[in-house]
Amino acid sequence: MLKKYEIVSVDARQILSDRGNLAVEATVTTAGGQAGTAVCTAGLSVGSHEIAFAYDTDAKWLGMGVGAAVASIKGPINQALQGMDARKQHDVDYAMLELAQKMPIGGNATAAVSAAVLKAGALAADVPLYYHIGGEKAVTMPLASFGCFYGSWRYDKLSKGGGKPTCSFIAYDFTTFHEASEALGQVYALWKDTLWKKCGVRQSGMLETSVFSGFFNIPAGFFDSDEQIWELACDTIAKCGYENRIGLQLDVAADSFFDPKTGLYNGLFSERPLDRAGLMDYYGQIVTKFPIVILEDPLNEDDFEGTAAITKRLGIQIVGDDLFTTNQERVRTGIESGAANTVLLKVNQVGTISKALEMVSFAYQHGYGVMPCLSRGEREAIADYSVGINAATIRECAFGSAGSRLRDIERELGGKAVYLGRKAFRGWKFQEGGAAVTP
Protein backbone atom coordinates (compact mmCIF):
# COMPACT_ATOMS: atom_id res chain seq x y z
CA MET A 1 0.00 0.00 0.00
CA LEU A 2 1.36 3.40 -0.99
CA LYS A 3 2.00 5.96 1.71
CA LYS A 4 0.39 9.38 1.35
CA TYR A 5 3.64 11.16 0.47
CA GLU A 6 4.67 8.80 -2.34
CA ILE A 7 4.49 10.19 -5.86
CA VAL A 8 1.83 8.53 -8.01
CA SER A 9 1.93 10.73 -11.10
CA VAL A 10 3.86 13.52 -12.78
CA ASP A 11 1.94 15.41 -15.45
CA ALA A 12 2.64 18.50 -17.55
CA ARG A 13 1.31 20.85 -20.17
CA GLN A 14 2.45 23.74 -22.32
CA ILE A 15 1.04 27.09 -21.18
CA LEU A 16 1.51 30.79 -21.87
CA SER A 17 3.39 32.46 -19.05
CA ASP A 18 2.59 35.84 -17.50
CA ARG A 19 4.94 37.37 -20.08
CA GLY A 20 3.33 35.64 -23.04
CA ASN A 21 6.21 33.16 -23.42
CA LEU A 22 5.53 29.48 -23.75
CA ALA A 23 6.22 27.74 -20.46
CA VAL A 24 6.25 24.27 -18.93
CA GLU A 25 3.72 23.63 -16.17
CA ALA A 26 4.26 20.45 -14.15
CA THR A 27 1.99 18.83 -11.57
CA VAL A 28 3.20 16.22 -9.09
CA THR A 29 0.50 14.25 -7.26
CA THR A 30 1.02 12.07 -4.19
CA ALA A 31 -0.90 9.01 -3.01
CA GLY A 32 -2.55 11.17 -0.38
CA GLY A 33 -4.12 13.31 -3.09
CA GLN A 34 -1.87 16.30 -2.58
CA ALA A 35 -0.79 18.02 -5.80
CA GLY A 36 2.01 20.51 -6.31
CA THR A 37 2.06 22.59 -9.50
CA ALA A 38 4.91 24.77 -10.75
CA VAL A 39 5.86 26.68 -13.89
CA CYS A 40 9.21 27.15 -15.62
CA THR A 41 9.71 29.76 -18.32
CA ALA A 42 12.53 31.78 -19.86
CA GLY A 43 13.42 35.29 -18.68
CA LEU A 44 14.11 38.58 -20.44
CA SER A 45 17.86 38.21 -20.21
CA VAL A 46 19.22 34.68 -20.40
CA GLY A 47 22.87 34.11 -19.59
CA SER A 48 24.88 31.86 -21.88
CA HIS A 49 25.98 29.72 -18.91
CA GLU A 50 22.45 28.68 -17.88
CA ILE A 51 21.33 25.07 -18.22
CA ALA A 52 19.90 24.36 -21.67
CA PHE A 53 16.12 24.24 -22.12
CA ALA A 54 14.39 21.80 -24.43
CA TYR A 55 12.61 23.59 -27.27
CA ASP A 56 10.74 22.26 -30.30
CA THR A 57 12.21 22.89 -33.72
CA ASP A 58 8.96 23.36 -35.64
CA ALA A 59 7.94 26.76 -36.98
CA LYS A 60 4.61 27.00 -35.14
CA TRP A 61 6.10 28.81 -32.13
CA LEU A 62 9.20 30.11 -33.95
CA GLY A 63 11.21 27.25 -32.53
CA MET A 64 10.27 28.07 -28.92
CA GLY A 65 7.59 25.46 -28.29
CA VAL A 66 8.02 23.26 -25.23
CA GLY A 67 6.13 20.18 -26.37
CA ALA A 68 9.26 18.02 -26.16
CA ALA A 69 9.86 19.08 -22.54
CA VAL A 70 6.23 18.31 -21.71
CA ALA A 71 6.53 14.89 -23.36
CA SER A 72 9.67 14.16 -21.30
CA ILE A 73 7.76 14.90 -18.11
CA LYS A 74 4.71 12.86 -19.02
CA GLY A 75 6.87 9.96 -20.15
CA PRO A 76 10.32 9.11 -18.72
CA ILE A 77 10.24 11.53 -15.76
CA ASN A 78 6.81 10.29 -14.69
CA GLN A 79 8.01 6.69 -14.84
CA ALA A 80 11.23 7.42 -12.96
CA LEU A 81 9.63 9.29 -10.06
CA GLN A 82 6.59 7.14 -9.32
CA GLY A 83 6.82 5.66 -5.84
CA MET A 84 9.45 8.13 -4.61
CA ASP A 85 8.96 10.17 -1.42
CA ALA A 86 7.92 13.73 -2.36
CA ARG A 87 9.42 14.98 0.90
CA LYS A 88 12.91 13.82 -0.10
CA GLN A 89 13.75 16.59 -2.54
CA HIS A 90 17.38 15.61 -3.03
CA ASP A 91 16.58 12.00 -3.94
CA VAL A 92 13.89 13.01 -6.42
CA ASP A 93 16.00 15.70 -8.05
CA TYR A 94 19.03 13.50 -8.49
CA ALA A 95 16.89 10.76 -10.00
CA MET A 96 15.92 13.31 -12.65
CA LEU A 97 19.50 14.44 -13.12
CA GLU A 98 20.60 10.85 -13.70
CA LEU A 99 17.85 10.57 -16.28
CA ALA A 100 19.02 13.81 -17.90
CA GLN A 101 22.44 12.26 -18.45
CA LYS A 102 20.84 9.58 -20.59
CA MET A 103 18.43 11.69 -22.66
CA PRO A 104 17.92 15.41 -23.54
CA ILE A 105 14.94 16.18 -21.30
CA GLY A 106 15.80 19.87 -20.86
CA GLY A 107 16.33 22.13 -17.86
CA ASN A 108 12.84 23.57 -18.23
CA ALA A 109 11.40 20.08 -17.67
CA THR A 110 13.51 19.26 -14.60
CA ALA A 111 13.07 22.73 -13.04
CA ALA A 112 9.28 22.66 -13.36
CA VAL A 113 9.02 19.14 -11.91
CA SER A 114 11.52 19.87 -9.13
CA ALA A 115 9.55 22.92 -7.97
CA ALA A 116 6.30 20.95 -8.16
CA VAL A 117 7.85 18.19 -6.02
CA LEU A 118 8.84 20.81 -3.44
CA LYS A 119 5.25 22.00 -3.19
CA ALA A 120 3.84 18.47 -3.09
CA GLY A 121 6.32 17.58 -0.35
CA ALA A 122 5.25 20.54 1.77
CA LEU A 123 1.60 19.62 1.33
CA ALA A 124 2.29 15.99 2.20
CA ALA A 125 4.14 17.09 5.34
CA ASP A 126 1.30 19.53 6.13
CA VAL A 127 3.63 22.49 6.64
CA PRO A 128 3.97 25.87 4.87
CA LEU A 129 6.34 25.85 1.92
CA TYR A 130 8.82 28.22 3.59
CA TYR A 131 8.93 25.95 6.66
CA HIS A 132 9.42 22.89 4.44
CA ILE A 133 12.50 24.64 3.00
CA GLY A 134 14.05 26.20 6.10
CA GLY A 135 12.32 24.83 9.18
CA GLU A 136 12.07 26.90 12.36
CA LYS A 137 15.00 29.12 11.30
CA ALA A 138 13.02 30.52 8.34
CA VAL A 139 12.06 33.91 9.80
CA THR A 140 13.71 36.64 7.66
CA MET A 141 11.46 38.84 5.56
CA PRO A 142 13.11 40.28 2.43
CA LEU A 143 13.20 44.02 1.78
CA ALA A 144 10.13 45.16 -0.12
CA SER A 145 10.80 46.38 -3.66
CA PHE A 146 8.88 47.10 -6.84
CA GLY A 147 9.46 48.13 -10.44
CA CYS A 148 10.22 51.72 -11.38
CA PHE A 149 10.96 51.61 -15.14
CA TYR A 150 12.38 49.42 -17.89
CA GLY A 151 13.03 49.47 -21.62
CA SER A 152 16.24 49.03 -23.59
CA TRP A 153 14.97 51.03 -26.54
CA ARG A 154 15.24 54.44 -24.91
CA TYR A 155 18.59 55.22 -26.52
CA ASP A 156 19.33 52.39 -28.96
CA LYS A 157 16.55 50.94 -31.13
CA LEU A 158 18.84 48.09 -32.19
CA SER A 159 19.55 47.04 -28.61
CA LYS A 160 19.26 43.37 -27.73
CA GLY A 161 18.73 44.32 -24.10
CA GLY A 162 15.34 42.63 -23.86
CA GLY A 163 13.85 45.35 -21.68
CA LYS A 164 16.99 46.05 -19.67
CA PRO A 165 18.25 47.89 -17.80
CA THR A 166 15.51 47.99 -15.19
CA CYS A 167 15.27 50.25 -12.17
CA SER A 168 13.31 49.45 -9.01
CA PHE A 169 12.32 51.13 -5.78
CA ILE A 170 13.49 49.30 -2.64
CA ALA A 171 12.29 50.15 0.87
CA TYR A 172 14.96 49.55 3.50
CA ASP A 173 14.49 51.87 6.47
CA PHE A 174 11.37 50.21 7.88
CA THR A 175 10.62 47.69 10.62
CA THR A 176 8.21 45.33 8.83
CA PHE A 177 7.56 44.13 5.30
CA HIS A 178 3.98 45.36 5.58
CA GLU A 179 5.06 48.88 6.52
CA ALA A 180 7.64 48.95 3.72
CA SER A 181 5.22 47.74 1.06
CA GLU A 182 2.65 50.33 2.14
CA ALA A 183 5.24 53.07 1.70
CA LEU A 184 6.14 51.72 -1.75
CA GLY A 185 2.47 51.79 -2.68
CA GLN A 186 2.38 55.53 -2.01
CA VAL A 187 5.55 56.11 -4.04
CA TYR A 188 4.29 53.99 -6.91
CA ALA A 189 0.99 55.88 -7.12
CA LEU A 190 2.78 59.23 -7.40
CA TRP A 191 5.39 57.78 -9.79
CA LYS A 192 2.68 56.51 -12.11
CA ASP A 193 1.01 59.91 -12.17
CA THR A 194 4.36 61.67 -12.69
CA LEU A 195 5.35 59.47 -15.63
CA TRP A 196 2.02 59.78 -17.37
CA LYS A 197 2.23 63.55 -17.16
CA LYS A 198 5.82 63.50 -18.39
CA CYS A 199 5.66 61.05 -21.29
CA GLY A 200 2.37 59.19 -21.33
CA VAL A 201 0.89 61.01 -24.32
CA ARG A 202 2.69 62.19 -27.41
CA GLN A 203 1.33 64.94 -29.66
CA SER A 204 -0.33 62.25 -31.77
CA GLY A 205 -2.42 61.30 -28.77
CA MET A 206 -1.14 57.72 -28.77
CA LEU A 207 -0.37 56.27 -25.36
CA GLU A 208 3.30 55.38 -25.32
CA THR A 209 3.84 54.08 -21.80
CA SER A 210 2.90 50.59 -20.76
CA VAL A 211 3.16 48.62 -17.56
CA PHE A 212 5.11 45.36 -17.53
CA SER A 213 5.35 43.50 -14.23
CA GLY A 214 5.02 46.87 -12.50
CA PHE A 215 7.76 48.50 -14.57
CA PHE A 216 6.81 51.44 -16.73
CA ASN A 217 8.25 51.37 -20.22
CA ILE A 218 10.09 54.60 -20.98
CA PRO A 219 9.75 55.37 -24.69
CA ALA A 220 12.49 57.00 -26.72
CA GLY A 221 12.65 60.78 -27.05
CA PHE A 222 11.68 61.96 -23.57
CA PHE A 223 14.95 61.72 -21.67
CA ASP A 224 18.56 62.27 -22.66
CA SER A 225 19.87 59.78 -20.12
CA ASP A 226 18.73 57.57 -17.27
CA GLU A 227 20.13 60.14 -14.86
CA GLN A 228 17.18 62.39 -15.67
CA ILE A 229 14.79 59.53 -14.87
CA TRP A 230 16.59 58.69 -11.63
CA GLU A 231 16.32 62.34 -10.60
CA LEU A 232 12.59 62.21 -11.25
CA ALA A 233 12.30 58.98 -9.25
CA CYS A 234 14.26 60.45 -6.34
CA ASP A 235 12.08 63.55 -6.39
CA THR A 236 9.03 61.28 -6.20
CA ILE A 237 10.47 59.46 -3.19
CA ALA A 238 11.20 62.78 -1.47
CA LYS A 239 7.70 64.15 -2.14
CA CYS A 240 6.28 61.08 -0.39
CA GLY A 241 8.50 61.75 2.62
CA TYR A 242 10.73 58.67 2.24
CA GLU A 243 14.10 60.18 1.34
CA ASN A 244 16.91 58.02 2.81
CA ARG A 245 14.35 55.31 3.49
CA ILE A 246 13.62 54.13 -0.06
CA GLY A 247 16.41 53.73 -2.60
CA LEU A 248 16.98 52.41 -6.10
CA GLN A 249 18.22 49.07 -7.40
CA LEU A 250 19.43 48.61 -10.97
CA ASP A 251 19.45 45.42 -13.01
CA VAL A 252 21.87 46.44 -15.74
CA ALA A 253 22.21 43.11 -17.60
CA ALA A 254 25.26 44.77 -19.14
CA ASP A 255 26.12 41.78 -21.31
CA SER A 256 23.03 42.58 -23.38
CA PHE A 257 24.68 45.85 -24.44
CA PHE A 258 28.21 44.56 -24.85
CA ASP A 259 29.80 44.33 -28.29
CA PRO A 260 32.70 41.84 -28.03
CA LYS A 261 34.16 43.08 -31.33
CA THR A 262 34.61 46.66 -30.13
CA GLY A 263 34.62 46.13 -26.37
CA LEU A 264 31.98 48.85 -26.05
CA TYR A 265 28.67 48.96 -24.20
CA ASN A 266 26.15 50.57 -26.56
CA GLY A 267 22.83 52.19 -25.62
CA LEU A 268 23.28 51.62 -21.90
CA PHE A 269 21.96 54.50 -19.73
CA SER A 270 22.33 56.93 -22.68
CA GLU A 271 23.19 57.09 -26.37
CA ARG A 272 26.86 57.52 -25.52
CA PRO A 273 28.85 54.26 -25.92
CA LEU A 274 31.15 53.39 -23.04
CA ASP A 275 34.21 51.19 -22.80
CA ARG A 276 34.87 49.05 -19.73
CA ALA A 277 36.89 51.69 -17.88
CA GLY A 278 34.40 54.42 -18.74
CA LEU A 279 31.47 52.32 -17.53
CA MET A 280 33.23 51.49 -14.27
CA ASP A 281 33.94 55.17 -13.67
CA TYR A 282 30.34 55.98 -14.47
CA TYR A 283 29.11 53.56 -11.78
CA GLY A 284 31.35 55.35 -9.28
CA GLN A 285 29.74 58.67 -10.20
CA ILE A 286 26.09 57.60 -10.10
CA VAL A 287 26.34 55.65 -6.85
CA THR A 288 27.67 58.82 -5.22
CA LYS A 289 25.00 61.02 -6.80
CA PHE A 290 21.93 58.79 -6.45
CA PRO A 291 20.64 56.45 -3.70
CA ILE A 292 21.54 53.32 -5.69
CA VAL A 293 21.89 50.52 -3.14
CA ILE A 294 21.89 47.43 -5.39
CA LEU A 295 23.62 46.97 -8.75
CA GLU A 296 23.06 43.77 -10.72
CA ASP A 297 25.27 42.45 -13.55
CA PRO A 298 27.19 45.72 -14.04
CA LEU A 299 29.57 44.25 -16.66
CA ASN A 300 29.92 41.47 -19.22
CA GLU A 301 28.80 38.09 -17.87
CA ASP A 302 32.36 36.70 -17.84
CA ASP A 303 34.11 39.78 -16.46
CA PHE A 304 34.85 38.54 -12.95
CA GLU A 305 37.90 40.79 -12.64
CA GLY A 306 36.00 43.97 -13.51
CA THR A 307 33.06 43.02 -11.29
CA ALA A 308 35.48 42.42 -8.42
CA ALA A 309 36.94 45.90 -8.91
CA ILE A 310 33.45 47.44 -8.92
CA THR A 311 32.48 45.50 -5.79
CA LYS A 312 35.52 46.76 -3.93
CA ARG A 313 35.19 50.31 -5.19
CA LEU A 314 31.47 50.95 -4.66
CA GLY A 315 30.88 49.22 -1.32
CA ILE A 316 27.24 48.46 -2.11
CA GLN A 317 25.34 45.26 -2.88
CA ILE A 318 26.56 43.89 -6.21
CA VAL A 319 24.45 41.04 -7.55
CA GLY A 320 25.49 38.40 -10.07
CA ASP A 321 22.77 36.97 -12.30
CA ASP A 322 24.25 36.23 -15.73
CA LEU A 323 27.60 36.32 -13.94
CA PHE A 324 26.72 33.35 -11.70
CA THR A 325 23.58 31.71 -13.22
CA THR A 326 22.87 30.09 -9.80
CA ASN A 327 25.81 27.80 -10.58
CA GLN A 328 27.99 26.84 -7.61
CA GLU A 329 31.17 26.62 -9.64
CA ARG A 330 30.68 30.08 -11.09
CA VAL A 331 29.91 31.37 -7.59
CA ARG A 332 33.17 29.75 -6.46
CA THR A 333 35.01 31.70 -9.17
CA GLY A 334 33.34 34.88 -7.98
CA ILE A 335 34.31 34.24 -4.38
CA GLU A 336 37.91 33.54 -5.31
CA SER A 337 38.14 36.78 -7.30
CA GLY A 338 35.98 38.92 -5.00
CA ALA A 339 33.40 39.51 -7.74
CA ALA A 340 29.99 40.66 -6.44
CA ASN A 341 28.72 39.87 -2.96
CA THR A 342 25.25 38.49 -3.74
CA VAL A 343 23.92 35.75 -6.02
CA LEU A 344 20.61 36.07 -7.84
CA LEU A 345 18.59 32.89 -7.33
CA LYS A 346 16.78 31.42 -10.34
CA VAL A 347 16.10 27.71 -9.95
CA ASN A 348 15.72 27.08 -13.66
CA GLN A 349 19.26 28.28 -14.33
CA VAL A 350 20.56 25.05 -12.78
CA GLY A 351 17.57 22.77 -13.33
CA THR A 352 16.55 21.62 -9.82
CA ILE A 353 15.68 22.91 -6.37
CA SER A 354 18.40 20.76 -4.81
CA LYS A 355 21.17 22.20 -6.98
CA ALA A 356 19.89 25.69 -6.22
CA LEU A 357 19.81 25.07 -2.44
CA GLU A 358 23.33 23.62 -2.56
CA MET A 359 24.45 26.86 -4.18
CA VAL A 360 22.61 28.89 -1.53
CA SER A 361 24.36 27.03 1.27
CA PHE A 362 27.73 27.47 -0.44
CA ALA A 363 27.17 31.21 -0.94
CA TYR A 364 26.17 31.73 2.70
CA GLN A 365 29.20 29.79 3.95
CA HIS A 366 31.43 32.26 2.11
CA GLY A 367 29.65 35.44 3.23
CA TYR A 368 27.68 36.06 0.04
CA GLY A 369 24.01 36.98 0.04
CA VAL A 370 21.30 35.37 -2.10
CA MET A 371 18.51 37.34 -3.76
CA PRO A 372 15.56 35.31 -5.17
CA CYS A 373 13.91 36.42 -8.41
CA LEU A 374 10.46 35.49 -9.71
CA SER A 375 11.15 36.10 -13.40
CA ARG A 376 11.07 32.42 -14.32
CA GLY A 377 7.52 31.45 -13.41
CA GLU A 378 7.75 31.05 -9.62
CA ARG A 379 4.79 33.38 -8.96
CA GLU A 380 3.86 33.66 -5.26
CA ALA A 381 6.06 30.66 -4.35
CA ILE A 382 9.06 32.99 -4.59
CA ALA A 383 7.90 34.47 -1.28
CA ASP A 384 8.24 31.09 0.42
CA TYR A 385 11.59 30.48 -1.29
CA SER A 386 12.84 33.79 0.05
CA VAL A 387 11.74 33.29 3.66
CA GLY A 388 12.74 29.62 3.51
CA ILE A 389 16.37 30.50 2.80
CA ASN A 390 16.32 33.66 4.96
CA ALA A 391 17.07 35.92 1.99
CA ALA A 392 17.41 39.53 3.08
CA THR A 393 16.62 40.99 -0.36
CA ILE A 394 14.40 39.92 -3.25
CA ARG A 395 13.59 41.19 -6.72
CA GLU A 396 10.36 43.30 -7.05
CA CYS A 397 7.89 41.55 -4.73
CA ALA A 398 6.14 44.27 -2.75
CA PHE A 399 2.80 43.91 -4.50
CA GLY A 400 0.81 41.30 -6.41
CA SER A 401 0.51 37.65 -5.43
CA ALA A 402 4.10 37.44 -4.16
CA GLY A 403 3.68 40.54 -2.01
CA SER A 404 0.40 39.22 -0.62
CA ARG A 405 2.06 35.92 0.21
CA LEU A 406 4.93 37.71 1.99
CA ARG A 407 2.46 39.69 4.10
CA ASP A 408 0.63 36.45 4.95
CA ILE A 409 3.91 34.82 5.99
CA GLU A 410 4.80 37.83 8.13
CA ARG A 411 1.47 37.51 9.92
CA GLU A 412 1.98 33.76 10.40
CA LEU A 413 5.44 34.30 11.89
CA GLY A 414 4.21 37.07 14.16
CA GLY A 415 6.89 38.25 16.58
CA LYS A 416 9.45 35.84 15.08
CA ALA A 417 9.49 37.70 11.73
CA VAL A 418 12.65 39.74 11.11
CA TYR A 419 12.91 42.72 8.76
CA LEU A 420 16.58 43.65 8.63
CA GLY A 421 16.25 47.10 7.07
CA ARG A 422 19.64 48.63 6.23
CA LYS A 423 21.39 45.57 7.66
CA ALA A 424 19.97 43.51 4.79
CA PHE A 425 22.46 44.89 2.27
CA ARG A 426 25.80 43.36 1.47
CA GLY A 427 28.76 45.71 1.02
CA TRP A 428 30.96 47.65 3.43
CA LYS A 429 28.78 50.75 3.28
CA PHE A 430 26.00 48.79 5.01
CA GLN A 431 28.01 46.76 7.48
CA GLU A 432 28.19 47.48 11.17
CA GLY A 433 31.51 46.99 12.88
CA GLY A 434 32.93 45.54 9.68
CA ALA A 435 30.81 42.39 9.87
CA ALA A 436 28.31 41.50 7.18
CA VAL A 437 24.91 40.14 8.13
CA THR A 438 24.86 36.33 7.90
CA PRO A 439 21.50 34.56 7.38
pLDDT at 205: 34
pLDDT at 340: 98
Which of 104, 126, 148 terminates a domain? The answer is 126
Q: What is the mean pLDDT of residues 416-437?
A: 77
Confidence of residue 433 (pLDDT cuts 50, 70, 90): very low
* CA–centroid distance for 415 within its chain: 28
Is residue 2 in a domain? no
Predicted TM-score (pTM) of this structure: 0.92
Kindly report, residue by residue over 22-67, the tens digit of the pLDDT.
899 999 999 999 999 999 887 555 556 766 677 777 767 777 788 8
| Least confident segment among 269-273, 306-310, 343-347, 383-387 | 269-273
Is residue 13 in a domain? yes
Q: Is there a single domain that holds both residue 222 and residue 105?
A: no
CATH number at residue 217: 3.20.20.120
Q: Is there a single domain that holds both residue 218 and residue 122?
A: no
134, pLDDT greater than 50? yes
pLDDT at 336: 98
Higher pLDDT residue, 384 or 430? 384
Q: Is there a single domain that holds both residue 74 and residue 221?
A: no
Which of 57, 91, 126 terminates a domain? The answer is 126
365, pLDDT greater than 50? yes
Distance CA 335, CA 96 (A): 29
Distance CA 252, CA 283 (A): 11
Is residue 439 in a domain? no
Q: Is there a single domain that holds both residue 226 and residue 191?
A: yes
73, pLDDT greater than 80? yes
Q: How many domains does the chain have?
A: 2
Confidence of residue 431 (pLDDT cuts 50, 70, 90): low
Q: What is the mean pLDDT of residues 382-411?
A: 96
Higher pLDDT residue, 108 or 318? 318
Is residue 438 in a domain? no
| Least confident segment among 21-30, 236-245, 376-385 | 376-385
CA torsion angle 385 389 395 398 (round to 10) = 70
Q: Is there a single domain that holds both residue 281 and residue 259?
A: yes
Confidence of residue 72 (pLDDT cuts 50, 70, 90): very high
291, pLDDT greater than 50? yes
Q: Is there a single domain that holds both residue 361 and residue 411?
A: yes
CB within 8 A of 339, min separation 6: which ones?
304, 305, 307, 308, 311, 318, 320, 323, 333
Q: What is the mean pLDDT of residues 276-288?
A: 97
Q: Give the distance between the most distant pair of CA atoms in the chain.
A: 71
Task: Specify whether the CB–CB gap between 387 and 139 falls below 8 A.
Answer: yes
436, pLDDT greater than 60? no
Confidence of residue 202 (pLDDT cuts 50, 70, 90): very low
Higher pLDDT residue, 239 or 198? 239
Which of 102, 126, 150 terminates a domain? The answer is 126
Closest CA to 317 of 342, 297, 298, 334: 342
| Residue-averaged pLDDT of the chain | 88
Distance CA 10, CA 26 (A): 7
CATH number at residue 73: 3.30.390.10
| Least confident segment among 197-206, 235-244, 414-423 | 197-206
Q: Is there a single domain that holds both residue 278 and residue 416?
A: yes
Looking at the chain, the whole-number percentage of residues with pLDDT higher than 90 is: 69
Confidence of residue 206 (pLDDT cuts 50, 70, 90): very low
Q: Is there a single domain that holds both residue 90 and residue 48?
A: yes
Q: What is the mean pLDDT of residues 77-83?
A: 97
pLDDT at 153: 67
Is residue 29 in a domain? yes
Closest CA to 270 of 224, 331, 334: 224
Q: Is there a single domain that holds both residue 352 and residue 405?
A: yes
Q: Is there a single domain that holds both residue 47 and residue 176?
A: no
pLDDT at 434: 37
Tell me how long the chain is.
Answer: 439
Q: Is there a single domain that holds both residue 352 and residue 407?
A: yes
Confidence of residue 334 (pLDDT cuts 50, 70, 90): very high
105, pLDDT greater than 90? no
Q: Which domain holds residue 284?
A: 134-430
Q: Is there a single domain that holds both residue 289 and residue 159?
A: yes
Task: Specify whether the CB–CB gap between 163 and 212 falls below 8 A.
Answer: yes
| Least confident segment among 287-301, 356-370, 371-385 | 371-385
CA torsion angle 277 283 288 289 (round to 10) = 110
208, pLDDT greater than 80? no
